Amino acid sequence: MNKIRLLFISILGCIKLTHANQIDTIIDFDSDKYLGTWYEFARLPNSFERKCTLPITATYSVNPENQDQIIVTNQCNTKDNSPKIATGIAYLPKNSNLGKLKVTFLPKWLRWMPFAYADYWILYTDYDQVAVVATPNKKYLWILSRSNDLKSDILDKAILIVKNQGFNIDRMIFNYKTDQ
């Protein structure tokens, strides 16, 4: 009986740990309001932006060939002043109102593969000023802004959301200073 009880307690502990590591997205996500250009205000370090200089932007637009898809264009300059542009496709899973996009930057001919799409979750957005975006494994995180002069109270709110979701903000790279 004690072995069964210990096993049950262990299983409950694993479930709680798994839940504690999960992140929450916004509900009632409105992709139309999210469209447009966002500036990368802050991020966790990642290899694909290592050579980027400011400004770093992400622009979202409806795909004219498929209205259910969003074209994602990430752009920055490199240190030698040449533009670096990555264009991909994003979509919301069917029957979902959560901010859980699936995104790929692979060439069209590889997009049919099951591993081609990554999770891109919107943890928070007010659509007008700020968005907090991450991957569920907490490897990637971005705080995006509609401009490069985000007010400090809005940034503080975004950072609080990031902290409450369990991200290590000590590693974050901040691209701009806040507008007091």
Where does the pLDDT of residue 96 fall: very low under 50, low under 70, confident under 90, or very high at 90 and above?
confident
Task: Please give the pLDDT value at position 93.
Answer: 85
**pLDDT tens digits, 2-61:** 433 333 333 334 333 344 568 999 999 999 999 999 999 999 999 999 999 999 999 999
Q: Which pLDDT does position 179 carry in this prediction? A: 66
Tell me the residue type at 107. Answer: P
Q: Which long-range contacts (CB under 8 A, 24 or more apart) does 118-123 make?
A: 120/90, 121/23, 121/25, 122/25, 122/26, 122/29, 122/34, 123/23, 123/24, 123/25, 123/26, 123/99, 123/161, 123/162, 123/165
Phi and psi torsions of 108, nearest 5°: -50, -40
CA pair distance 39, 22, nearest whole angstrom: 26
Q: What mean pLDDT do residues 51-76 have? A: 95
Q: Which domains does the chain have, with CATH numbers?
A: 25-174 (2.40.128.20)
> What is the predicted pLDDT for the residue at 65?
93
Report pLDDT for 59: 98
pLDDT band at 95 (very low <50, low <70, confident <90, very high): confident
pLDDT at 22 (0 to 100): 82
What percent helix, strand, coil does the chain show, rounded to 5? 25, 40, 35
pLDDT for 123-169, tens place per residue?
999 999 999 999 999 999 999 999 988 999 999 999 999 999 999 99
Cβ atoms 144, 130 nearer than 8 A: yes
- Give the pLDDT score at 1: 42
pLDDT at position 11: 38
Residue 88 amino acid letter: G
Residue 180 is predicted with a pLDDT of 62
Q: In the prediction, which pLDDT does 21 show? A: 67
pLDDT of residue 177: 83
Tell me the whole-structure pTM to 2 decimals: 0.85
Alpha carbon distance 87, 177 (integer Å):
28
CA distance 6 to 78: 55
